[in-house]
Structure 1
């Protein structure tokens, strides 16, 4: 019994010491990592990762309760800068490594291949360079590999196909080149393949479209070529996102896409696809986003797309579509964004436009051949923030409820527009409007306001000073008169201000110097007078200035932005003077000596005048005193005689 107890005691002692040695190994590995971190602004690791406290209590460390070993390292988003030491490969029980969102650089050490328990590696959003390490394929339990947003280069290793348990492979936003390895098709548990924003070439391996577990295929912004297989969705029953935009893919859009019945996002923009929009897409009833922009598609927009009741974003711009817009589309209540601009669409918009789209936020239909009226019912789309119907042939009164430029709208802008307080962009340029409502100042969140090239007259409203969020105000080419309201000087966010080609008069407001964000200022072809405020030298971001064809006078400032402008900014202001590079007459310079002499002489004349007056006053007093004494003496003589 005693012998058995002794054996048990020795065994426990050895096991305890082995445990200590192992956790000591983990501690040494982590302290080595700490020593390779050259910058950590909050000094969290410097104070917390210390031998004076247990490793398992350190920030970012998780230990297993069974073996008392480090199983997870998470130091993501700590603004750490440094390199990864090879000692990290000694964390033999590590299953999760997350150092994302820092600025680590250099290579990933090959000693990480020792971490056979690793299931997750997340090093995204750092500055790692070099090729993707082939040793990663030696990690048999790896399920999640995130290497995105670094500076990895070279080719995607074919050996990654050895990671048979891999579920997510994210390599986007690097400098990877070459073809996509067909061996990736051997990853039978893969749910996400994200290779976007690289320099990959060649065609998409058909083997990828046979991975039945895939939820997302993201290959946008590469240099991929070729055609999509006609059976693209025969083996993708779980696909939810297909992102292929900004490549050089050609051929037709395969009707077989309808078999990806769980598809929610289909993005094929900026490729070389031809033909028509397959009507079969209307069977993708889970679709929320359909964007097929800037292709070579033609024909009519299928009316069956109106069956996509979950659709939130429908983008078909920059194609060659003809015919009218199907009325069924305007009854998709979930729609938030519609983009049909720059096609060859014709016909009219529905008379009840807006009633079936309560969630619509952006509607782009500019650059087509649409005609007819724009119904007031568009106001029912109460969430509408952007409306672009420019360059069409619309007629009639302007709707109450916004790019409506380059049409033939006339008359007054309705006052109810001032009630659309959610409006951010209002473009009414190039119409025949003659008055603006007084309550436009209520649009305090307006970012851009453009009413140029209309028939607007009268004074500029003081209420425009309420556009505190505005970055652009363009009132040019109208018939505004009177002075510029000083309230405009309070628009601190304003970047672009154009009041050119009006009949404005009076001085340039000195308060314009408070618009410190201003980059573009055009006041040409008005009747402004007075001097150019020297305070405008404070507009250090001003890149364009045009105050030509006015009646300004005095010296042109030379500091701040005036150091970079040319004579073109001051044309036809005959009373201006200043530096010869402005092609104006020199200013009259008064001699300093003459001025000083004149001041001295003036002072002397004043002193002489004062002295003369003082002398006369003294003389007058003396004269009176003498007369008084003489009269007194004569009275005394008379008394004595008497």
Structure 2
């Protein structure tokens, strides 16, 4: 009995002591004075106070009256500290742990840095803690779990690293932990499933990885879940979709996969926001989604969702954003777009994104009846047919209208002029005809207008000059004619580009170009522009690309061009320009692509600046040039007139002797072997230019040590290639010897000669000479002599034959891009800049040769076709007798079905080559069987699985490139991944089955130059 009484007494005593500890300010050793001292210690570590918010923290005032300090009325202890948005900078003092009565701390939106003191974990009464939008570093203290009353934890917008402490899972009162926008790593703590009071969980913009814990299913009160922009992977637990309280689910930009439950709309009846973009989700969009009647934002972009789209999305009356872009929700059939009509019921709809979604069928007229609040309608990159509705002007709130890269026909409706809020209008890459509506001039706030690659005709409306905010105007690749309106060149707002190329525009280039001081790109190529280049272009100081090729310009390059210090690309080829090449071009610091070909320039070629590297400039077709670097092999410039006359005589005499000796030898051979050679057809004199040196069989045999196998560097169907040292100068050459026994070899030789005599470009293998003769045994002998390419073939770099080669032959990302630009430049020249179009017909890695600088040169024109400039057909007088050939895997599919040779066939081969270069897989790889092909392999991986299919060696290079970036690995990694996606998209678009749907090579070249510019930018 006494023992029981004693125990009861001790229990009461302990209880009283406990009460005294918590309620008596002095019982625990912390008093009003310690609170004051703690606040002063905090002030001491504030290094910057621009608003003098802490000036009141001094001895003349009681600390309970200090700015931002709140005390309890009973004991005058600090219970709240609110110093938000004061631009305070410094450290958070550990003495904050002495403010033991604190219930609320708000230091958000300042510039505190350093480590969060662990002493914060001593504040067991704390309910609200916000340190967001500062610069705190290091790890989040795990002992915050001691703050058992904590309801709100705001740590977003700092530089916190390390893992999320699993101890935080014991905070049963926690309702909203905000840890977004940090650098947290590791996995999501399973212990968070114990946070029974949790209402909001935001962990976006960190580096978290692993899967979403199944324990999260226990968060029965959760309404807001945002895990976006992390590295989470795996399937989302289906149980998570059963949390009926969820109103927002955001998981954008992770590696999450799996399917959405078919009953999603039934299990999440309160759903208002569903953001799942940039992941790997697949399967259909659940039809039950319409049961989430309060849904406002639905964004599933950049996944692998398939169709069909639920037809009754219009029942989502509150829907504001709908984005299905970069998915496969369509089947390219006529029913793909029927769901758009139901969306006319969504009166709050503001954004629709259906780009690159495999959608086909007619564009319904009902889109003109969509919400008048709609400001964003983007449907580019599909297979949509039909015409743009005449009542499109009903969408009066539209700011962005993008219907590019489809199969739209008809005219641009005049009602577009009613879209006075429009900022961006894109309809390029369609088949739209008729004239450009003058009503476009009503949209004074228009920023970007792209009507390129269509069938538009007529003149350029002067009314476009009313679009005084326009910074991009692209009407290239149409059938426009007439003069360029002078007022267009008065648009000082044009900065991004004025692109008028590939039309039928005539007249002079207006001098009003002086107004476009900030223009970056000007393209008037392939028109009928005449007259002289206006010197007023000197005012375009920001100009980076100037393309004036393929016109009738005359005169000289203005000396004022020396002021264009930002110029990177200058193309004035295929004009009637004359005079000397200005030396100041060598002084332009960024000029890296200079094309002066096919003009009438004369005199000395500079050897500095852009002229130091033969891959950076072209002077082909200017026959009066001399000097320059050795690589371009021009004659030396004469020093004096007397020396010039003497040199002429020497050349004439030497040439006459050489011709006489050659003719004499030819006669001797002809007499000795007339029976053997009677039926042989001699090589036409027109097949090679007279300037090529004459070589005999004996010369070539001596150059190759008798065609020794040790000098053989390649062997193909029609001939073998040898390395040789030719002539007294010791020129290293590659000698392609035709196999006379091979059927078609003779025709191939004639075809290649006929083609090569017409062309000259820095990215084509240069021919030295040709030989049609008889060997020592009286057999027919034919050979072509080329510049030797020491870098070997691209084939040997992509698929090395030995382990040593694999270790040494690694092409970087930028090297691969540069090579593809080289090849595209060559094909752009063949397709668009020759007197007659030339189709190569056999592009593959083994036909691309590399010099010492790994500049790519296209070779082997044995199957080339010369197309008539007027009809686009193969003329009977050229190489039409050759059968359609190519290499399996690279040859365009229409050729195999008897289709006519065309430049789009070369584009197909280019697309396959591109995909091979970036995946490391040959198109004939054993994995490609049935309907599976290299094209489909890449297409299926776009856009979210690109990192899985690229060449492993390239993946290593991109990682190193990202880590070395000044902008930080994360930013650079995103930029590189975006460029890889764009590159593979080009490859896929070039290698589609239908020729009419392929890109044109000029567009490919333009896109690659943009990609290289992005990667090279700091």
Residue 210 (structure 2) aligned to one of 158, 164, 178: 178
Matches within 5 A, 1:274-423: 274-298=306-330, 299-301=335-337, 302=339, 303-332=341-370, 333-354=372-393, 356-400=394-438, 401=440, 402-423=449-470
Larger radius of gyration between Structure 1 and Structure 2: 1
Helix, strand or coil for the counterpart of 1:377?
helix
Q: CA deviation at 1:407?
A: 1.9
Please give the per-residue CA displacement for 1:198-248, whole angstroms capped at 9, x wherever unaligned: 222222223333334433211121222221112212243442211111222
Counterpart Cα distance in 1 of 2:140 and 2:117: 8
CA distance in 2, matches of 1:534, 1:118: 74
1:209 aligned partner: 241
Check the 8 A contact 1:383/1:422 in 2, yes or no.
Answer: no
TM-score under structure 2 length normalisation: 0.52
Corresponding residue for residue 21 of structure 1: 34
Distance between the aligned counterparts of 2:172 and 2:55, measured in 1? Answer: 30
Could you tell me which of 108, 131, 136 is aligned with 2:168? 136
In structure 2, distance between residues paired with 1:123 and 1:518: 47
Displacement of 1:144 in angstroms is 2.6
Matches within 5 A, 1:240-259: 240-259=272-291
Q: 2:121 maps to which residue?
A: 89
Cα distance in 1 for residues equivalent to 2:566 and 2:222: 50
Counterpart pick for 1:218 among 243, 250, 257 = 250
Alpha-carbon distance between aligned partners in 2 of 1:531 and 1:56, rounded to the nearest angstrom:
84
Unpaired runs of 5+ in structure 1?
A: 1-10, 591-642
Moved more, 436-445 or 331-340: 436-445
Tell me the equivalent position of 2:871: none
1:580 aligns with 2:630: yes
- The 1:314–1:12 alpha-carbon spacing in structure 2 relative to 1, beyond 3 Å, is closer
Change (3 A) 1:437 1:198: same
Asked if 2 retains the 8 angstrom alpha-carbon contact of 1:552 and 1:576, the reply is no
Residues 443, 330 of structure 1: alpha-carbon distance in 2 compared, 3 angstrom cutoff: farther
Distance in 2 of aligned mates of 1:121 and 1:385: 41
1:58–1:13 CA distance, 2 compared to 1 (3 A): closer
Work out the number of aligned pairs and report it: 571
CA distance in 2, matches of 1:558, 1:103: 53
C-alpha contact 2:457 2:479 (8 A) present in aligned 1: yes
When residues 117 and 360 of structure 1 are mapped into structure 2, their CA distance, relative to the original with a 3 A threshold, is same
Q: CA offsets, 1:347-379, max 9 Å, x none?
A: 22222332x111222222223232222212211
Deviation of 1:270 after TM superposition, in Å, equals 1.8
Gaps of 5+ in 2: 1-23, 83-104, 441-448, 641-1018
Equivalent residue, structure 1, for 2:775: none
Q: Mean alpha-carbon deviation: is it higher for 507-516 or for 146-155?
A: 507-516
Residue in structure 2 matched with residue 470 of structure 1 by the alignment: 519
Q: Deviations over 1:148-189 (max 9, x none)?
A: 233222210111123333332111222222221232233333
Q: What secondary structure sits across from 1:297 in the alignment?
A: coil
Q: How does 1:566-605 map to 2 (within 5 A)?
A: 566=615, 568-573=617-622, 574-575=624-625, 577-581=627-631, 583-585=633-635
Instruction: Identify the residue that residue 429 of structure 1 maps to in structure 2.
Output: 476
Task: Provide closer, same or farther for how the CA distance between residues 469 and 93 of structure 1 changes in structure 2, counting only shifts above 3 A.
Answer: farther
Residue 249 of structure 1: SS of its match in structure 2? strand
Structure with larger RCO (C-alpha < 8 A, sep 6+): 1
Q: Distance in 2 between matches of 1:23 and 1:163?
A: 35
Instruction: Return 17-26 or 398-407, whichever deviates more.
Output: 17-26
Corresponding position of 2:499: 450
Residues 212 and 238, structure 1, Cα contact 8 Å, conserved in 2: yes
Establish whether residue 482 from structure 1 lines up as the match of residue 520 from structure 2.
no
Distance across 2 between alignment mates of 1:223 and 1:172:
14
Question: C-alpha separation between the residues in 2 aligned to 1:527 and 1:556?
Answer: 18
Matches within 5 A, 1:604-615: none
Distance 1:127 1:274, change over 3 A: same
Contact persistence 2:300–2:323 (CA under 8 A): yes
Q: CA shift at 1:94, angstroms?
A: 4.6
Distance in 2 between the 1:320 and 1:205 partners? 29
The answer to whether the 8 Å contact 1:405/1:427 transfers is yes
- Residue 258 of structure 1 deviates from its aligned partner by 0.9
Q: CA deviation at 1:575?
A: 3.1
Pairing of 1:462-541 with structure 2 (within 5 A): 462-536=511-585, 539-541=588-590
RMSD of the alignment, in Å? 3.4
Q: Partners of 2:54 and 2:612 in 1: how far apart?
A: 54
Tell me if structure 1 keeps the 8 A contact 2:594–2:617.
no
Please give the secondary structure, in 2, of the residue aligned with 1:306.
helix
- Tell me the SS of whatever aligns to 1:256: helix
Could you tell me whether the CA contact under 8 Å between 2:57 and 2:66 is conserved in 1? no
> Residue by residue, what CA displacement relative to the aligned partner does 1:74-97 show, whole Å, maximum 9, x if unpaired?
555555553333234345555444
CA separation of 1:13 and 1:171: change in aligned 2, threshold 3 A? closer
Matches within 5 A, 1:541-556: 541-553=590-602
Question: Do the aligned partners of residues 386 and 85 (structure 1) sit closer, same or farther apart at CA in structure 2, a change above 3 Å counting?
Answer: same
Q: Is the 8 A contact 1:287 1:308 kept in 2?
A: yes
Alpha carbons of structure 1 residues 521 and 163: separation in structure 2 relative to 1, 3 Å: farther
TM-score by length of 1: 0.79
